[in-house]
Amino acid sequence: MGGPGARRGAYHGALGSWQTSEAPRASEHEAARGEMTSPAETESLGDRAAAALVGYREGHAELMSEFVREATPMLWHTVRAQGVPREVADDVVQQTWAALVAHVESITEPQATLKWLLVTARRAAWEAVRKGRADDHRRTELPDDDADTAATLPDTAPGPEAEVLRDERDRMLWTALQQLPGRCQELLRLVSLADRPDYRSISAAIGMPVGSIGATRGRCLAKLRAVLTEQGETSWT
């Protein structure tokens, strides 16, 4: 895996290919470069989503390309949290990004881009789960169905958790996390993936009022710590 810079360079051509007919005007280009070089700490993921959308509409795809790299993990875990198998989740994430292109002109408020993506990913995930159930149902109704071809979609992460969580403290934290309510787990994972939590986006994505996100995050974290302490892990408290 190359660094972010290398990736941006390599894929600039692919993502920007439909806009090669018209070079961006110098002033716009300067503006885009200014956005890119501004320090990341001063803006949230939601701000970068807005800048990517605006830049994309104006005909340069660099910010969008970089934003796709940055936000794909958040979309991935949002989709997976709804119970979508890995292979299908791959499609759903792609579809969500493609839908952003299709709706690029209809998002009236650029600041709502991240929220739009998370909500779209979540709905598409539910739809995929619904379709998956319907397919399973159809399969079980076919008497001559080949057992080898049915249900070949893997449902879990590659490799048992024990293999990736060799460290005792890692296992403890993971086990503790699993003991929290589902929405708590989803909230903590989303918050942990945004370098500066964007509560407006996250609240819409998991259907929780904006005002309660901060408090809920605090409660989920405190609960996580309490579970860890019960297990004898004290270094977090």
Partner 1 sequence: MDMTDLDGVVGADDPLDASDVALLERVAELSGRVDPVPEGLVERSRFAMTLAGLESEVMELMVLEAPAGTVRSDAPPLETRTITFTHERLTVMIALSPGDEPRTVRVDGWLAPAETLTVVLRRPDGDHRTTADDDGRFVLENVPRGLASLLVEQDDLPITTPVIEL
Contact status: 69 vs partner 1 (CB under 8 A): yes
Residues contacting 120, CB < 8 A, separation 6+: 96, 99, 100
Exactly one of 83, 99, 123, 231 binds partner 1 (CB under 8 A); which one? 99
Site for partner 1, residues 182 to 201, rule: CB under 8 A: 183-184, 188-189, 191-193
Contact status: 173 vs partner 1 (CB under 8 A): yes
Instruction: Tell me whether residue 163 is exposed, middle or buried, using C-beta atoms within 10 angstroms of its C-beta: 0 to 12, 13 to 18, 19 or more.
Output: exposed
Exactly one of 6, 57, 87, 209 binds partner 1 (CB under 8 A); which one? 87
Q: Mask of contacts with partner 1, 105-144, x by CB under 8 A?
A: -----------------------x--x---x---------
Q: Mask of contacts with partner 1, 20-59, x by CB under 8 A?
A: ----------------------------------------
Exactly one of 24, 43, 58, 95 binds partner 1 (CB under 8 A); which one? 95
Contact status: 164 vs partner 1 (CB under 8 A): yes
| Shortest Cβ 65–partner 1 spacing (Å) | 6
- Rounded Cα distance, 183 and 136, in Å: 26
Exactly one of 93, 112, 121, 213 binds partner 1 (CB under 8 A); which one? 93
Spacing of C-alpha 74 from chain mean position? 2
Site for partner 1, residues 137 to 156, rule: CB under 8 A: 149, 152-154
Q: Which stretch binds partner 1 (CB under 8 A): 12-20, 28-36, 39-47, 115-123?
A: 12-20
- Rounded Cα distance, 35 and 1, in Å: 25
Q: Which stretch binds partner 1 (CB under 8 A): 21-29, 34-42, 114-122, 165-173?
A: 165-173
- Rounded Cα distance, 233 and 169, in Å: 8
HSE, side-chain direction, 13 A CA sphere, residue 135: 12
Which backbone phi and psi does 197 adopt, to 5 degrees?
A: -50, 130
Contact status: 226 vs partner 1 (CB under 8 A): yes
| Shortest Cβ 79–partner 1 spacing (Å) | 11
Distances (CA, A) of 206 to 120, 130, 219, 227: 11, 18, 16, 23
| Shortest Cβ 119–partner 1 spacing (Å) | 17
The 8-class DSSP code of residue 156 comes to: S
Contact status: 175 vs partner 1 (CB under 8 A): no
Nearest Cα neighbor of 113 from 75, 160, 168, 85 is: 75
Enclosing H/E stretch for 148: none
Exactly one of 174, 210, 211, 230 binds partner 1 (CB under 8 A); which one? 174
- Rounded Cα distance, 197 and 204, in Å: 13
* Residue 93 near residue 76 (C-beta atoms within 8 A): yes
